[in-house]
Amino acid sequence: MLAQAQEATVDTLHVRNKFLPTGLRIGTDVITLVKSNRSSQFAGWEVNADLDINRYYLVMDYGQWAMSQPITTGQRFVGGPVTTGLYENSGRYVRFGVDVNFLKKDPDRNMFFLGFRIGRSSFHDAASFVDSTAYSETANINFGATTKELVNSNLTGHWAELTTGLRVKIYKFFWMGYTARMKFLPSVSGEQELTSYDIPGFGIASRRLYWGFNYQLFFRIPFTSKQVPVENAKK
């Protein structure tokens, strides 16, 4: 009886410890940093974090995104003909989700994963452009080419993502990996004067399906320096 009770206690502790987080990984997207440094039309950064619960990882991404895009004839920024101008936006975004690791018995907790994300962005945008059709009906005057500016001051974007990727331990607490993203179902609320062209964290708003890729470096913070054997947990 005593042996059976001890075995039951060990099994219960094993189940409990199995679903206790063992560490927190914090990292950044290298591609975003390089793009921000080299491009005059983009500035941004992104921080990534995940927390393991057995083979499941709770994930959060947080970043800032600002871009500028020249307007040329035919681009879908505003209603009516546009000859030349500039579209700009700036904002922050967050993604929440979960990854499922399919390398279940790897002692280094390397990952091949599939996951899901919900994204949300708060941003503003503006378009300054040359309106070649400025006309006053009352005065019956054609003003010719006139510079205009349209502004959305408080926008919210939403979307969803399916993800896949790798995480590999390279040295002690340092990890590297990538995340491929299939982004879909974009929406923007709060538009007033301007049809938003770009959603921070997502990309071009008019594309119902958009692909993204991150190359990431992580530092892992372990919650215990050494796992306590289950059999000794109550001694």
What is the structure's pLDDT at 99? 98
Stronger pLDDT, 228 or 130, i.e. the higher one: 130
> Do 147 and 128 meet the contact criterion of CB atoms below 8 Å apart?
yes
Stronger pLDDT, 41 or 2, i.e. the higher one: 41
- Within a domain: residue 74? no
- Within a domain: residue 128? no
- Within a domain: residue 204? yes
Q: For 155-174, how does the pLDDT look when each residue is reduced to its tens digit (9 = 90+)? A: 999 999 999 999 999 999 99
Closest-CA residue to 165 (of 103, 223, 93): 103
- Within a domain: residue 51? yes
What's the rounded Cα separation, in Å, for the pair 35 and 62?
Answer: 17
What is the structure's pLDDT at 7? 52
What's the rounded Cα separation, in Å, for the pair 173 and 25?
Answer: 9
Q: Tell me, what CATH number does 110's domain have?
A: 2.40.160.20
* Tokens 């947990």, residue located: 233
- Within a domain: residue 136? no
> Do 60 and 93 meet the contact criterion of CB atoms below 8 Å apart?
no
Residue 42, beta-bridge partner list: 67
- Within a domain: residue 134? no
Whether the predicted pLDDT of 63 surpasses 50: yes
- Within a domain: residue 222? yes
What is the structure's pLDDT at 75? 56
Domain span at 116 = 2-68+90-120+155-188+195-232
Given phi > 0 = left and psi -120 to 50 = alpha, else beta, which region is 201? left
> Do 71 and 77 meet the contact criterion of CB atoms below 8 Å apart?
yes
What is the structure's pLDDT at 205? 94
Stronger pLDDT, 109 or 32, i.e. the higher one: 32
Stated pTM of the model:
0.82
Whether the predicted pLDDT of 175 surpasses 90: yes
Q: Is 198 exposed, middle or buried (0-12, 13-18, 19+ CB in 10 A)?
A: buried
What is the structure's pLDDT at 149? 87
What is the structure's pLDDT at 104? 84
Residue 114, beta-bridge partner list: 100, 164
- Supply 221's token pair: 């913070």
Give how many domains the chain has, as a whole number.
1
How high is the mean pLDDT of the chain?
Answer: 84
Whether the predicted pLDDT of 232 surpasses 50: no
For residues 87-106, give the mean pLDDT. 95
What's the rounded Cα separation, in Å, for the pair 206 and 199?
Answer: 10
- Measured between alpha carbons, how far apart are the two ends of the chain, in Å? 19
What is the structure's pLDDT at 234? 44
Q: For 141-158, how does the pLDDT look when each residue is reduced to its tens digit (9 = 90+)? A: 555 567 788 899 999 999
Q: For 209-219, how does the pLDDT look when each residue is reduced to its tens digit (9 = 90+)? A: 999 999 999 99
- Within a domain: residue 30? yes
What is the structure's pLDDT at 57? 97
